[in-house]
Amino acid sequence: MHSAAAPVNSDLDPFSPEFRADPFEPYTRLREAAAPIVWLNKYSIWAVSRYQAVRAVLDDWRRFSNAGGGGLANYFLEKPWRRPSLILEVDPPEHQRTRRVLMQALSAHRLQQVRVTFEAQADALIDEAIERGALDAIPDLVQRFPLTVFPDAVGMRREDRSPMLAYGAMVFGGFGPVTPWYQDLMKQADAVSAWIMERCQRQALSADGIGAAIYAHADAGDIEEGEATLLVRSLLSAGVDTTIDSIGLCLRCLAEHPEQWAVLRDNPGMARRAFEEATRFDSSSQSLFRTTLEDVDFQGVQLKKHQKVLVLIGAAGRDPAKWPQPDRFDIQRRVTASQIGYGAGVHSCVAQMMARLEGEVFFAALARKVQDIELVGPAVLRLQPGLRGLSSLPIRFTRKTI
């Protein structure tokens, strides 16, 4: 007889402000731990951080479920704060049914249709930013781009859309631990949720947007009317903050790596690759969760049924076993085929082509119009639970002269 060795464990807290201020050094420690999956004492959850282990968990949806909830909260044991997402927080086969609807609503044809208006909007915002001189690029440029083009493409009316940012903070903050900051934020939960749900209704949406395309599947009998409403809610939940934060972090990368910016500026056609590399190097979605459906032997480590697993995709993006010189931001790198920043497997980001389109259009316009990006003050990271992203990026652009 022998008893299983105690699991490798760690006191690291991935949700603490210290960790969030610089996750890349603790990521290294987690990857280099003596086991492919590590027990985090503070939350009584597992964590994977090596590229290979992250892929193994994400590819194994039969044992690592999404129905336990997209965050730290365990829906098998506690009540969710909102109705679970019909795409993120369900397993196959239910997941395929809703996934197919969103895939069709976000088809390549539709992306091609919206590209021209995305380009016009990027051009206008970047021209305005250049004219302003010094500006805070996060509120004054970066937030405005997804917040304009994405809800427009969904078919929402134009109005003050700031409740979408408050809702996104609740959704992504809600994937982390309950902190005083989160409890304070959630005081607005009823009002903000009501605002969002009103805008997910069929009659609130234009007849020709992505939202209407989802409701067409209700008319066709593929989904219920109420399911269409919740799928639109998924778009409004996951579609704005993610790209804002990823574009903001990519802009900082380019500002801090002038030699990389010079390559992009001289080759605006490399915008998509630059954004792809930034999605590996430093982007908004650093982690996600799975929950075990049964007792699991994971590469020799014993996990119990209904335990949460933190999947550190941001750490996998820096794994030297996968990426040569992973801490170098290099826009020439070929990333797409091994990209982990949008997740992987059956649940990989359903709107990832929309995200790439936004990034490509934004940075191509920047490369065509801007000569130099000058940081004129400290970039500020948000340190509360939620997506990784900047709250402030003081910058000055100088216009290209040809």
- Which residue stretch of 61-69, 234-242, 260-268, 299-307 sits at the interface with ligand OVM (rule: CB under 6 A)? 234-242
- Which residue stretch of 11-19, 83-91, 118-126, 183-191 sits at the interface with ligand OVM (rule: CB under 6 A)? 83-91
Binding of ligand OVM at residue 229 (CB under 6 A)? no
> Is residue 215 a contact partner of residue 252, using CB atoms and an 8 Å limit?
no
Binding of ligand OVM at residue 243 (CB under 6 A)? no
DSSP tag of 139: I
DSSP tag of 156: P
Q: Which of 56, 114, 138, 171 binds ligand OVM (CB under 6 A)?
A: 171
- Which residue stretch of 23-31, 81-89, 180-188, 328-336 sits at the interface with ligand OVM (rule: CB under 6 A)? 81-89
Which of 230, 365 has the CB closer to ligand OVM?
230
Q: How far is the CB of 334 from ligand OVM (least distance, A)?
A: 25
Residue 39 — φ and ψ, nearest 5°?
Answer: -85, 125
> Is residue 340 a contact partner of residue 55, using CB atoms and an 8 Å limit?
yes
Binding of ligand OVM at residue 284 (CB under 6 A)? no
Exposed (0-12), middle (13-18) or buried (19+): which is 195, by Cβ within 10 Å? Answer: middle
Binding of ligand OVM at residue 232 (CB under 6 A)? no
Binding of ligand OVM at residue 12 (CB under 6 A)? no
Q: How far is the CB of 79 from ligand OVM (least distance, A)?
A: 17
- Which residue stretch of 56-64, 82-90, 182-190, 297-305 sits at the interface with ligand OVM (rule: CB under 6 A)? 82-90
- For the beta carbon of residue 74, count every other beta carbon within 10 angstroms: 16
Cα dihedral 277/325/29/352 (nearest 10): 20
**What residue has token string 């987690």?**
30
Between CA 297 and CA 87 the distance in angstroms is: 27
Which of 153, 366 has the CB closer to ligand OVM?
153
Binding of ligand OVM at residue 234 (CB under 6 A)? yes
CA 232, 237, 240 angle in degrees (round to 5)? 105
Nearest to 154 by CA among 195, 97, 215: 215
Instruction: Write out the H or E segment, with its range, that includes residue 210.
Output: helix 210-219
Which of 326, 385 has the CB closer to ligand OVM?
385
Between CA 328 and CA 313 the distance in angstroms is: 17
Binding of ligand OVM at residue 66 (CB under 6 A)? no
Q: Which of 72, 88, 135, 367 binds ligand OVM (CB under 6 A)?
A: 88
Binding of ligand OVM at residue 237 (CB under 6 A)? yes
Binding of ligand OVM at residue 138 (CB under 6 A)? no
Partners of residue 372 on adjacent β-strands: 398
Partners of residue 373 on adjacent β-strands: 397
Binding of ligand OVM at residue 87 (CB under 6 A)? yes
> Is residue 236 a contact partner of residue 204, using CB atoms and an 8 Å limit?
no
Q: How far is the CB of 366 from ligand OVM (least distance, A)?
A: 26
Binding of ligand OVM at residue 105 (CB under 6 A)? no
Instruction: Write out the residues near ligand OVM by the rule CB under 6 A.
Output: 85, 87-88, 171, 233-234, 237-238
